[in-house]
Amino acid sequence: MGEATNQAEEILEPDLPIIDPHHHLWDLRPLVGAFPEPHHPFIAALIDNAYYTFDELHAHTTSGHNIIGTVFMECGAFYRADASDAMKVVGEVEFVNGVAAQSASGLYGDFRACAAIIGHADLTLGDGVEPVLDRLQAASPDRFKGIRHQGAWDADGEVLGAPFHAPEGLYRDASFREGFAHLGKKGLTFDAWLLEPQLPDVIDLARAFPDQPICLDHCGTPLNIASYTGKLHERFDGWRDNIHELAKCENVVVKLGGLAMAFCGLPEKGPAAGFGSEDLGAMWRPYIETCIEAFGPQRAMFESNFPVDYWGADYATLWNAFKRITMGASADEKSALYAGNAARFYGIEHILPKG
């Protein structure tokens, strides 16, 4: 592996259209002092990127790569302070819809930020989640496309840190699945985030709901943190087997990214470790190529996961690393992996280049 460097790289394939299908917007500054375990690498990454809204996103998406649009991913931001626990999530979609309208004005260029919005609703409400979904759709009728209800859990509490544990076995829970069934009725997508040891849970969920579009985030989140440190190699075969098993479910697609998070330790040091795209590409290639091999180039999409992935890579270098991995892919495959698949899954084909 080469030495870390902070030297800016020349942008590779600068004309290739990209839809970034996974980023957040937030203002965590009022919460920084309340974060438990600030020594945890993931918490530290959040603190270091406590403010990330349209200006920061715009600066990144105009840093050289041809970003034509983005998809916002829920992150618990700007919830309504005066709403019930079930309905407070509507505030996030309202906020992001305003950002999308700001971008759609054209005053900031041709790219369309937050062309699709993925919000959150508590699916463990069972049938009680239906009015929440209705309110979310009403908050952004044209852009709200689905929800994410993260299920990340591990027996080792040091893996995630205190704020981020979902209940164990959430995706197998009967109440969760009762709520989950309402997504298909409303034509909504589902983004699944959980950790590599939990992949059988999303496999079981996808088999139980074969008509529900599901996106697995972050290559299934391989772990190289806490009790998993140094075990990426020994756990790789099990991860790969589960990825291939999940890919048999034709209702599932996969996001290629999230590997620069502190959880994955690729690289182990951050934030913005300074490794060049050649080194990052070499670290990520086994996971990304395995996912493309399993799902095929028509059911996979590259993602930035910003600002979380800023732990290990700046925005321009991250996309350069992806492009190095796909250097041998055909033009049609690149078109699908970098924009077409995201546009189709999230229903935003209208932002693709014409012709």
Residue 39 neighbours by CB distance under 10 Å: 8
- The structural domains of the chain, ordered by start, are 17-350 (3.20.20.140)
pLDDT at 229 over 60: yes
**pLDDT tens digits for 291-318?**
999 999 999 999 999 999 998 899 999 9
Q: What integer pLDDT is reported at residue 131 of this predicted model? A: 98
Token look-up 């190289």 returns 224
Assess whether pLDDT exceeds 70 at residue 94: yes
User: At 49, is the pLDDT very low, low, confident or very high (cuts 50, 70, 90)?
Assistant: confident
Of 292, 36, 263, the closest CA to residue 150 belongs to: 263
* The residue type at 254: V
- HSE-up of residue 286 (Cα within 13 Å, Cβ side): 10
Q: What is the pLDDT of residues 246-289, one digit of tens each?
A: 999 999 999 999 999 989 999 987 656 679 999 999 999 999 99
The DSSP code sequence of 210-236 is TTS-EEE-GGG----SGGGTT-HHHHH
For the residues 47-55, what does the mean pLDDT come to?
A: 89
- Specify the pLDDT at position 151: 97
Q: Can you give the C-alpha Rg of the chain in angstroms?
A: 19
Residue-wise pLDDT tens digits, 54-84: 999 999 999 999 999 999 999 999 999 999 9
pLDDT digits (tens, 9 = 90+) for 339-350: 999 999 999 999
pLDDT digits (tens, 9 = 90+) for 16-33: 999 999 999 999 888 877
pLDDT > 90: what percent of the chain? 85
Of 324, 315, 199, 303, the C-alpha closest to 249 is: 199
- pTM of structure: 0.95
Q: pLDDT tens for residues 97-108?
A: 999 999 999 999
Residue 1: which pLDDT band, with cuts at 50, 70 and 90? very low
Cβ contacts of 295 within 8 Å, gap of 6 or more:
247, 252, 253, 254
Distance separating alpha carbons of residues 129 and 312, to the nearest angstrom: 37
